[in-house]
Structure 1
Amino acid sequence: MREAPSTERGQPAEATVRPSLVQRRKAALRQEIAREAVRLFTTQGVAATTGDQIAQAVGISARTMWRHFPTKESCVLPLLSAGLDFVMDELRHWPTDMPLLDFFTQTSSIGELPADTPVTLDLIRMTSTDPALRSVWLQAHDDALPVLAGLLARRSGGQADDLRVKVHAAALNGALRAAAEDFAQRYAHDREASGAEITACLLAALRAASEGLPY
């Protein structure tokens, strides 16, 4: 999960420095490892898949793979973090005079989902039944919390460690996770699901979060 760059209140973030060639190659390799891990987990099960098999599928040594990931389950983290990184990048351009729901309605209605979306949805569905993968999924969202808190703090003029800001960040984080899980389960057998459907899931989750606790 990338850190949120410093911005003036209400102003879009400045363009970040382009990653170096080495960084881009490292990121590409991590994504390839993640895709192959999900493919193997899906076809033969998590328990039956070894780190050596994942490395062999990618065409690298096991030693190289373990330099990037501490466990076979953690290999999928780049895929789980990618959607959160996308949301963070969008939120950095959230105008101060626009409500959150209006902003997501305007910016999230994409026509086609990224190429890795079917693989990621398969993975998210597996996190509901495999405890180790569940831990990685929750880690991705835990990593996102301080980034979200920083974005909300800069927007509000508060501090990222203020309890109110942390609660708002946790609510937004939870809505994003619930929306992704709902979309993954709802469209498990519909490979034609589009950005409109995932936007609908996201907006429904955000509306529920914005209602507060009606109990």
Structure 2
Amino acid sequence: MTASRGRTGRPPLTEERRAEIRLEIARAAVDLFVEQGVAATTGEQIGQAVGVSARTVWRYFPSKESCVSPLFSAGIDAIAACLREWRPGRPLPDAFAAEWETGRPLVVGPDPATVGALVRLTRTEPGLRAIWLQTYDEAEPAFARALADRAGLPADDFRPAVQAAMFNAALRAAVEHHAWHTDDTGTDPATVRAELAKALRSALAVASEGLT
């Protein structure tokens, strides 16, 4: 009779830990990009900053530019949830008030100053620009579904799709305006969040004119 062989090696990573590793890699990548530029940054350097191998970096991301995608997409689910819970007659910016007041991330991830620097890099780094625009392209269907749920409409209805496009464009314009007209170096994080929230409120006020 042969004894059953137990599983050896490290236990598999949980989804939560995988997400943490992705975020650690993203933060290391953007720090290196800001410090020395994208071209001069290697997968080995990104891995060393996190304490993992370059092979691990490439297991999570197909390119060094894509390493930053978790910072760009961190708030999509939170935004969609706010849209889904937005009540008729309530100003759209107010639907996000609780998140802004507590400093929880909505659009650009956990560190507004760091991601602000990253967004500024998208003006001169085509690879990062592509990832930035791809994030919003992928977010739009999620926003459309949330608006359709809110209105009790089918997921493929044309009206939520148009509304989501307007809302999405307003968000991106606000974040870019804030990043490109603000130097976050040495600025208190609370001030950065307040300035970004002000830009987002202005954008959502414009977007809400086309949303009901």
**Structure 1 residue aligned with 2:31:** 39
Classify 1:102/1:57 alpha carbon distance in 2 versus 1 (closer, same or farther; 3 Å).
closer
Question: What secondary structure is seen at the aligned counterpart in 2 of 1:110?
Answer: helix
The answer to whether 1:163 aligns with 2:158 is yes
Aligned length, in residue pairs: 192
2-structure distance, mates of 1:198, 1:25: 29
Q: Which stretch shows the higher mean deviation, 66-75 or 175-184?
A: 175-184
Q: Which protein, 1 or 2, shows the higher relative CO under an 8 Å CA cutoff with sep ≥ 6? A: 1
2-structure distance, mates of 1:46, 1:178: 24
Classify 1:47/1:117 alpha carbon distance in 2 versus 1 (closer, same or farther; 3 Å).
same
2-structure distance, mates of 1:59, 1:109: 33
1-structure distance, mates of 2:134, 2:32: 21
Shift in Å at residue 92 of structure 1? 3.6
**Structure 2 residue aligned with 1:74:** 66
Deviations 1:27-57 (A, max 9, x none): 1100000001001111110011111221122
Question: What secondary structure is seen at the aligned counterpart in 1 of 2:75?
Answer: helix
Question: What secondary structure is seen at the aligned counterpart in 2 of 1:60?
Answer: coil
Larger radius of gyration: 2
2-structure distance, mates of 1:85, 1:77: 14
**Structure 2 residue aligned with 1:107:** 98
| Letter matched to residue 195 of structure 2 | E
1:137 aligns with one of 132, 135, 142? 132
Classify 1:164/1:89 alpha carbon distance in 2 versus 1 (closer, same or farther; 3 Å).
closer
2-structure distance, mates of 1:102, 1:112: 15
Q: Please report the TM-score for the alignment, with normalisation by the length of structure 1.
A: 0.80
2:123 aligns with one of 116, 123, 128? 128
The answer to whether 1:24 aligns with 2:16 is yes
Q: Which runs of 5+ in 2 are unaligned?
A: 1-11
Q: Which runs of 5+ in 1 are unaligned?
A: 1-19
2-structure distance, mates of 1:89, 1:40: 33
Q: Could you tell me whether the CA contact under 8 Å between 2:92 and 2:208 is conserved in 1?
A: no
**Structure 2 residue aligned with 1:60:** 52
RMSD: 2.2
2-structure distance, mates of 1:96, 1:174: 22
Identity across matched positions, percent: 50
